[in-house]
Amino acid sequence: MAHLSEEPIIEALGIHKAFGELQILKGISLQVRRGEVVVLIGASGSGKTTFIRCINLLEDIQAGRIRVNGRAMGYRERSDGRLVRDSERNIARQRRDIGMVFQRFNLFPHMTALENIIEAPIQVLGLSRAAALEDARRLLGRVGLADKADHYSSQLSGGQQQRVAIARALAMKPQAMLFDEPTSALDPETVGEVLQVMKELAEEGMTMVVVTHEMGFAREVADRVVVLDQGELIEQGTPEQIFSQPQHPRTRAFLSRVL
């Protein structure tokens, strides 16, 4: 495990999110320290994906606060205390600090692996094409795909596409990475190669919040396991605590179904 800072890089305070009448998140609060790997587990529909999409402002929140590096994320507080959504330009600037890897790889099909990785650093960070290419080749090597630089997504397996997606997120030099069930769309034989890249990132000290059904990964790599159920954070602790001595009856019921 990487050395953990006491300083939280991500703070979610009392997050509420609804779709119409349906309450998805019911006041979730969570702090993630720099260098920490936090794994979110829970039944489908418990709010895990919605929660990390709120961290990255892919979903609006109805109440609560999100801070990254101590700064309010996506919202400005008016003098009367009400939240006002920030400008899209400021939100885009803040999103740079947080990489996101989705279930579906979201690669541009008309671009090669290399082109997928260099697009945002050139367009958003203003890197020169030469510098972006050099960094992209290094990142492809890091995820074990140095020989796939000129392949299009249709020529890559699901696991290879997901590793390109991880390299693409890393190219923005994020301070933290969010993973939304990154192996759930993969064939079983390619799951391991993606989890291995994620383990290596954790060992290098990357701050990570991971939504996953891979309990072996949670047990081996997480510093902290957080259990969500019906939009509430019901329990959190070390992998040892959660998997060996869960305290909440709903945690015990969930684990009895998946382990």
Q: What is the pLDDT of residues 205-245, one digit of tens each?
A: 999 999 999 999 999 999 999 999 999 999 999 999 999 99
Q: What is the pLDDT of residues 82-97, one digit of tens each?
A: 778 888 888 888 888 8
Model pTM?
Answer: 0.92
Q: Tokens in use for 154?
A: 């249709």
Local confidence band at 254 (pLDDT 50, 70, 90 cut-offs): very high
pLDDT at position 116 is 97
pLDDT at position 5 is 63
Pairing type for strands 207-211 and 63-68 reads unpaired
Q: What percent of the chain has pLDDT over 90?
A: 80
What span, in angstroms and rounded, lies between the C-alpha atoms of 247 and 249?
7
Q: Is residue 207 a contact partner of residue 9, using CB atoms and an 8 Å limit?
A: yes
Neighbours of 110 (CB within 10 A): 9
Arithmetic mean of pLDDT, 152-162: 96
* Residue of 259 and 245 predicted with greater confidence: 245
pLDDT at position 246 is 97
Local confidence band at 3 (pLDDT 50, 70, 90 cut-offs): low
Q: Is residue 157 a contact partner of residue 190, using CB atoms and an 8 Å limit?
A: yes
Q: What percent of the chain has pLDDT over 70?
A: 98
pLDDT at position 210 is 98
Local confidence band at 4 (pLDDT 50, 70, 90 cut-offs): low
Residue 62 pLDDT > 90, yes or no?
Answer: no
